[in-house]
Amino acid sequence: MRVITVKSKNSESFYISYAYRGKNGKSTSKIFRKLGTLDELSAQLSTDYDGVMAWAKEQAKAETEKLKSENEFVTLSLSPTQLIEKNKENSFNCGYLFLQSILTNLRTDNIFRNIKVKHSYKFNLESIFSDLVYARILEPCSKRASYDYCQSLLESPKYELHDVYRALPVLAESSDYIQSELYRNSSFLHKRNTKVLYYDCTNYYFEIEQEDGDRQYGKSKENRPNPIIGMGLFMDGDGYPLAFDLHPGHQNEQLTLQPLEKKVIRDFDCADFIYCSDSGLSSQSNKEFNNIGGRSYVITQSLKKLKKDICATALDPSQYRKVGSKQFINLLDLDETDPAVYESIYYKEVPLEGKKVSETMIVTYSPKYKAYQKKIRDGQIERAMKMINENGKPKKSRKNPNDPARFVKTTAVTSEGEAADKTFAEIDQAAIENEAKFDGFYAVTTDIEGDVGEIIAINKRRWQIEECFRIMKTEFNARPVYVSRNDSIKAHFLICFTSLLVYRLLETKLSNQYTVRETRETLKHMNVSLIEDAGYMPVYKRTDLTDVLHDTFGFRTDTRIIKKAKMRSIIKQTKEISSQSAKQ
């Protein structure tokens, strides 16, 4: 290592530079450590330029000796007949270190230091919270199983299982505070986009039969015959979770928006934003609430539920425009075999006069979306035909509005000499034709008077909040829920919420190159084996993803052997605020 200086207009800075060979075999160098500016170091050391340079060279020499010590060859002497020590863990996960680095930069130490002031407990709440987040991402399971899993991390828990259950009520009580602080601190890692906030609801089931507390029977999103609990989630414009709250499983979802939104406005300092949601949350009260205080809304609108005259206007092929153009066109004149036409979106604005809110319905038409809907329906018609047996009898009746059974029409037939009516089933062609007329059309209502293209783009990004729920349910196994008390349930979902935020931040650091499953599986299998008197040996496959992880976070766990001192240094590094985050 050597000392280099960089001069600017007003100062001169001293650095330690490190020369090495890159992956391509070529010699290169990088800045190992910044020592400071000449003025800073002169004042600190009470010396002139020559004195600062001499001190800097001593620092470079010390770092060189340290690096040589770390890079010394390790000689192993292993006996093929000697048994390994009984009941001792020899394999440890180090993939969690990347997650730990993110949690550190979310300033969780400050968050839990402030919580400690208001509560009396002896366990390490930050460690319990962090470990539960690691387990939820890497090996989602019950709280007991999570505690067992964390024994396999490089830093095993210093607390007991009963401390985990005692921590849950504290986490639940502090949930709103933790959410708001995570939001503020996440801006150190990624600038939050709160110009548009997306809101949606889902629910989670419990493997119980009896209702209890907020666990109530309601309409399950997964059609499960179990008590459920509802979750309302706000997401920012870039797909990062913002805030959540829980509500009883039987509560009307439209009533859940305003309490949580008021909390976001109050605790998150988010006052001016565009609210976006689906039609199921578009009550008149919610629209009026988001038409004041610098807020606006973009909400999906079901064309099938419109009044006949408004629906007819929306589906009328005349008076449409292509996005980005002011020229009127008739949809019937489109050549949908033209690739440019097929990929384009056309729109019509329909003014809607409400009692308190004046809004516009933007109806869009997409030939590509039309083809997609027709393909889906053709498959459903094929399944509907299979529901009818050779004698024209329906095999079963269903009530799901998207079920193929909606295309089956039954007729009661009385045959001469028969004591009872018979039911004859056939494909309902009228139902198919009625549904087909909506193909390609989509609508939103908004109180915004602005660029239609931007309004359409805002609604288009709504899929990301559905992906948030999918990740929590499928990848993080947020359900079924194995805790029963309301406070424990809230703590459980706080862990899931934080895990989602940590994953989103990791996803951004990795430039969105990898799927959640690829990332999870890689981190989960990044294990090292402890070799006494030598250090840790990686026992995982090195891949492009592991290379990107190491390059992004600035440490490596994929060398042939990692000395214990080096591993301690790596662990320490993941618990330090990064320089980029510290600057903000």
DSSP, residue by residue, 84-150: PPTT---EEE-THHHHHHHHHHTTHHHHHHHHHHH----S-HHHHHHHHHHHHHHS---HHHHHHHH
Closest CA to 519 of 186, 98, 45: 98
Q: What is the mean predicted confidence (pLDDT) over 299-305?
A: 93
Is 147 among the domain residues? Answer: no
Is 298 among the domain residues? Answer: no
Categorize the per-residue pLDDT at 54 as very low, low, confident or very high, splitting at 50, 70 and 90. Answer: very high
For residues 509 and 199, give the distance between their C-alpha atoms in angstroms, rounded to a whole number.
25
Q: Mark which of 402, 436, 470 sits at the end of a domain.
A: 436
Is 26 among the domain residues? Answer: yes
3-class secondary structure, 518: helix
Is 480 among the domain residues? Answer: no
Tokens describing residue 220: 């399950």
> 456, 362 in Cβ contact below 8 A?
yes
DSSP state of 313: H
Q: Tell me, what's the pLDDT at 94?
A: 97
Domain that holds residue 387: 369-436
Q: Tell me, what's the pLDDT at 385?
A: 86
Q: Tell me, what's the pLDDT at 406?
A: 85
3-class secondary structure, 72: coil
Residue 421 reports pLDDT greater than 70: no
pLDDT digits (tens, 9 = 90+) for 255-296: 999 999 999 999 998 889 999 999 999 899 999 999 998 999
Question: Structural domain tally of the chain?
Answer: 2
Closest CA to 130 of 103, 155, 94: 103
Is 32 among the domain residues? Answer: yes
> What's the half-sphere exposure (Cβ side, CA atoms, 13 Å) at 235?
26
pLDDT digits (tens, 9 = 90+) for 176-203: 999 999 999 999 999 999 999 999 999 9
Is 27 among the domain residues? Answer: yes
The better pLDDT of the pair 235, 357 is held by 235
pLDDT digits (tens, 9 = 90+) for 345-354: 999 999 987 7
Q: Tell me, what's the pLDDT at 302?
A: 93
Q: Mark which of 17, 41, 70 sits at the end of a domain.
A: 70
Q: Tell me, what's the pLDDT at 278?
A: 93
Q: Mark which of 384, 413, 436 sits at the end of a domain.
A: 436
Categorize the per-residue pLDDT at 1 as very low, low, confident or very high, splitting at 50, 70 and 90. Answer: confident
Is 136 among the domain residues? Answer: no
Q: What is the mean predicted confidence (pLDDT) over 124-134?
A: 97
Is 49 among the domain residues? Answer: yes
The better pLDDT of the pair 418, 169 is held by 169
For residues 83 and 32, give the distance between their C-alpha atoms in angstroms, rounded to a whole number.
42
Q: What is the mean predicted confidence (pLDDT) over 360-379?
A: 95
